[in-house]
Amino acid sequence: MAQRAAERTYGVSDELLTPGLGWSLPALRKAWNAAKEDVAPWWRECSKEAFNTGLDALARALKNWSDSRGGQRAGRTVRFPRFKSRRRTTPSVRFTTGAIRVEPDRKHVVLPRLGPLKLHESARKLARRIDNGTARIMSASVRRDGERWHVSFTVQVERADRAPARPASVVGVDVGVKHLAVLSTGEMVPNPRHLVDAQQRLRRLGRALSRRTGPDRRTGQQPSNRWRRASARLGRAHARIANLRRDGLHKLTTRLAREHGTVVVEDLNVTGMLRNRRLARHIADASLGELRRQLAYKTEWNGGQLVVADRWYPSSKTCSDCGAVKTKLALSEREYRCQECGMVLDRDLNAARNLAALATEYDPAGSGPVAGRGADRKTLPAGLVAVKRQPGPAHAGQTGTVPPQGETADRVLAEAH
């Protein structure tokens, strides 16, 4: 691209410019097959899926950059892709072809070029579905996390129609830092604060790592064995925090999706909230965006619906009893005191009840958001706002993503020993 841009400044016609390369995955594969004998004569020692995984990531990154540059992609500006560092990224590869199966003993899986791998936990649930003919393995992803190797299968299954335990039940969920979630039913789910609890241990492990002889790319110095062991201990500590956080979020979202027919949440600007230096660590530790993402596909899996309130809806400033709206409400005020009706209620519980009331304004058969009594960006004294339904699942392929529409997929995680 830089060469073609430079040639244009010299007055070279388009017909004589350096030939460009296609950005699609087939075009990148063709270019790789033509050059691999010269640039990587050892390519036969590795599985072709290792190169295909990198090419697929490159094709997606280039498309995202191009769409963002042309105004066809919403959200934050996507920069031009950069090379990944094999030292700072999570090693992963996705197998889409070849022999991918679970052995009859349920303790081994077979992957292309890698052969049989012993599992730390049993894969009997996946094997039982495959034996019954109700599931088919589409791909397998292998990644390293916290000094452990994990294999994740993307499986197409025949999922039976489900219905929530209480289809007519509506619950508003107000997420935050003090409480992970406050439900309109009055339940307050405490924030476990896994990262805060492990800060002292992380500091100790970080200091121990800094005292070891680590790698130096400028001088070519190799890390010592003690540095490698200290780095592994620090990595395992971070992996444990992530696993604890992930486990708590899955249990909470699964319970909400199975019990209630309608779940109402807020459209929070988490990226903007992270700019607050005093609360950024606590907001990131709570994983507010991940909680909403899990609710999006789990409510659809269980036959419910997810209603997302407008970002500018004043759920905390509105009285859930009389509907009066305060002009200002400081973050330090943990109780909502209505000047109109005199109601005194916890501010998070008050916001959750206001979110639950939005379900009455939601029209699932409509073509767009409901035109309610809405609030604008200035938070004018008004009532309910327009709401929208969270779009359904769009793709599968990464761990934790949702299956494509029209087909259902389950993710079966097995830890390779």
Kindly give, in sequence order, each residue whose CB lies less than 8 Å from that of residue 393, ignoring residues fewer than 6 positions away: 296, 297, 300, 401, 402, 403, 404, 405
CB atoms within 10 A of CB 332: 5
265 in Cβ contact with 181 (< 8 Å): no
117 in Cβ contact with 100 (< 8 Å): no
Q: What is the DSSP letter of 318?
A: B
Catalytic choice (300, 310, 348, 361): 348
Torsion over CA of 89, 91, 96 and 98, rounded to 10 degrees? 160
As beta bridge partners, residue 141 has 94, 152
Structure tokens at 229: 């062991």
Active site annotation includes 266: yes
Active site annotation includes 348: yes
HSE at residue 310, side-chain half, CA atoms within 13 A, is 22
Torsion over CA of 33, 150, 295 and 125, rounded to 10 degrees? 110
Structure tokens at 212: 């070891």
Structure tokens at 55: 């090419």
Q: Are strands 92-95 and 135-145 parallel, antiparallel or unpaired?
A: antiparallel
Q: Are strands 166-175 and 260-266 parallel, antiparallel or unpaired?
A: parallel
User: Shortest CA distance to 354 belongs to which of 191, 187, 183, 190?
Assistant: 183
Rounded CA gap, 130 and 106, in Å? 12
Q: What is the DSSP letter of 68?
A: H
Catalytic choice (174, 300, 310, 361): 174
Kindly state the helix (H) or strand (E) to which residue 415 belongs, with its residue range.
Answer: strand 408-416
320 in Cβ contact with 353 (< 8 Å): yes
Catalytic choice (145, 266, 285, 310): 266
Active site annotation includes 346: no
Residues that are catalytic: 174, 266, 348
